[in-house]
Chain A
Amino acid sequence: MSGYQIADEPTPSDVLGNAVCSPSGPLLATMMCGAWLAWPWFAFNAIAMGSPTKRRELAMVGLALGGTIVLAIVVRALVGAGIIESAFVLQLALLGISAWKVGMAYAISTVQTRAFDVYTLYGGKVARAMVVLILGQYLRRLVLGVTDDPIWQIIVSGGPS
């Protein structure tokens, strides 16, 4: 990719370029390990790949995290105020948060995949995501067990969990 740079072409980092993974890695991490791994992984991938949509991807990661925090606080406040009383309604509210996280993960993965396709077109190196996913599975309980605070649990847990 020497000479003129086309707007959709990534500019991989010299140091981090070897650690670029397919965006399906962090997407799977959302479901298997939790958002604690998926959001930072998406952000790392965007930076390491030098994605042309890096700012957009990082903004989406920020929005996903910020939105999850706000939704978690709102649900906790509604429970505290006695507005959400039954377990059934609480489960539906948590489902809303969970759908938000999975939806955002899919959306970020879709944007990042476009840059990743061009990255691989020009022979960019791709690291194996499976190692990170296995490590993430192992560390999942440790991260979730940092505190019993429900807001923490909601923020760092995965989509379906």
Chain B
Amino acid sequence: MIDSLVDRADQQRRARDYQAAVQTLRVVLASDATHARAHATLALALLGMRRIAGAEAEAEAALVADGGDPFCHQAAAAVRLAQHRLAEAWGYARVAITDDDDPDARVLAAAIRDASGHRDEARALIDEALELDPGHLAALAAQAGLDLADGQLTDARRRIAVVLGVDPRDPTARVIAARVALAAGDLAVAETHTRFVLGFDAGHRGALDVWMALKAQRGVLLGAWWRITGFMSVRSPRARIGVMIGAYVLVRIAIIAAAALGYEQLEDSIGMAWLGFCVYTWTAPTMFRWMLRREVQTIQV
């Protein structure tokens, strides 16, 4: 009974219905808090919702419950990849791929190796995944991504078309398709794919990156505006704090120096410019989300 509920939750997760998966696993874990697979599946579902702290705790609970289960290591590797802790992620992934029948673990391990700059190893892992399951969509999408990185646009386009033919809602495949179109100079197609993803998930980092690249190609000023606003809106909190505090200290030093040198008008001007910058950065994330919503209102499937 419990195992079938965990299987159902895993299917919900794979269908990207993360809320439903979390609810199902909540029921499972309320009756058996030491169910390793339930903790691991919950970690992956929470990652889908970008709840990294919760996912990390669940992955740790999964490893405590069964430290020998490769699937628990797979969940831990996915969490570490999301945290950009690539060495640790690879450590977990190496255990995850000891499961000889799991293509998912190999696709994840490939993503970790690719992010670490080992594209050949990533390609070998994807090949292994496709040997296990030739129709594995995530593996095909990852292979298309590697083809794109190697400049093989025709192969990338062919593979991603197969993935989208089976699952047209796959956001990862859509973003890769957008990147392929962007690389081929087909901005309209790239925009269609990106709009599709952002229409469902306005915070998708990959889609936002393509969106900003599209804006930059269409106009220097517009592109610069989108990039600055995007930087203030979607970068990591630590980067944003760094920018804010760095700018604050520089401006205050400029004001103090201007006053000490007797440039009162300059002091006032810097103060007013700083006030404008504060108002702008305060409203930038809201403006960014509003403009994005407005832009992706017309979704073309």
Contacts of A7 in B (CB 8 A): 53-54, 56-58
* B interface, over-half SS: helix
State the interface size on chain A (CB cutoff 8 A).
Answer: 27
CB under 8 Å from chain A, chain B span 99-133:
none
B183 proximal to A (CB < 8 A) = no
Residue B252 at the chain A interface, CB threshold 8 Å: yes
Q: Are A99 and B245 in contact (CB under 8 A)?
A: yes
Q: Does B1 contact A (CB under 8 A)?
A: no
Q: Which residues of A contact B51 (CB under 8 A)?
A: 6, 8, 118
Contact of A95 with B245 at beta-carbon distance under 8 Å, contacts A4-B29, A8-B53, A8-B57 already known: no
Give B20 Cβ to nearest chain A Cβ, in Å.
14
- Nearest CB of B to A89, in Å: 10
Question: By DSSP majority rule, is chain A's interface helix, strand, loop, or mixed?
Answer: helix
Q: How large is the interface on B (under 10, 10 to 19, 20 to 34, 35 or more residues)?
A: 20 to 34
B241 touches which of A91, A106, A159 (Cβ 8 Å): A106
With contact pairs A99-B245, A103-B245 given, residues A6 and B252 touching in the complex (Cβ less than 8 Å): no
| Between-chain CB contacts (< 8 Å), 29 pairs | A2-B26, A3-B26, A3-B29, A3-B30, A4-B25, A4-B28, A4-B30, A6-B22, A6-B26, A6-B46, A7-B56, A8-B51, A8-B57, A31-B278, A52-B53, A53-B53, A88-B256, A95-B252, A95-B253, A99-B248, A102-B244, A102-B248, A106-B240, A106-B241, A106-B244, A106-B245, A107-B241, A110-B237, A160-B252
Q: Is the C-beta of A92 less than 8 angstroms from some C-beta in chain B?
A: yes
Chain A residues positioned under 8 Å from B46 (CB to CB) = 6, 8
Q: Are B256 and A95 in contact (CB under 8 A)?
A: yes
Q: Give the distance to chain B from A93, nearest Cβ to Cβ, in Å.
A: 11
Residues of A within 8 A of B (CB): 2-4, 6-9, 31, 52-53, 87-88, 91-92, 95, 98-99, 102-103, 106-107, 110, 113-114, 118, 159-160
Query: Chain B residues near A3 (CB, 8 Å)?
Result: 26-27, 29-30
Question: Which B residues touch A6, using CB under 8 A?
Answer: 22, 26, 42, 46, 51, 54, 57-58
Q: Which of B33, B240, B249 has the most CB of A within 10 A?
A: B249
CB distance from A84 to the nearest CB of B (A): 14
How far is it, in angstroms, between the C-alpha of A8 and the C-alpha of B53 when the chains are bound?
Answer: 6
Residues of B within 8 A of A160 (CB): 248, 252
Any A CB within 8 A of the CB of B260: yes
Among A99, A107, A113, A160, the most chain B Cβ lie within 10 Å of the Cβ of: A160
B31 to chain A, nearest CB (A): 9
> With a CB–CB cut-off of 8 A, which chain B residues contact A92?
253, 256
Q: A6-B42, A7-B58 are in contact. List 13 more A-B contacts (CB 8 A).
A: A7-B53, A31-B278, A88-B257, A92-B256, A99-B245, A99-B249, A102-B244, A102-B245, A103-B245, A107-B241, A114-B53, A159-B248, A160-B248
Q: Bound state CA distance, A3 and B42, in angstroms?
A: 14
CB-defined contacts of B237 to chain A, threshold 8 Å: 110, 113
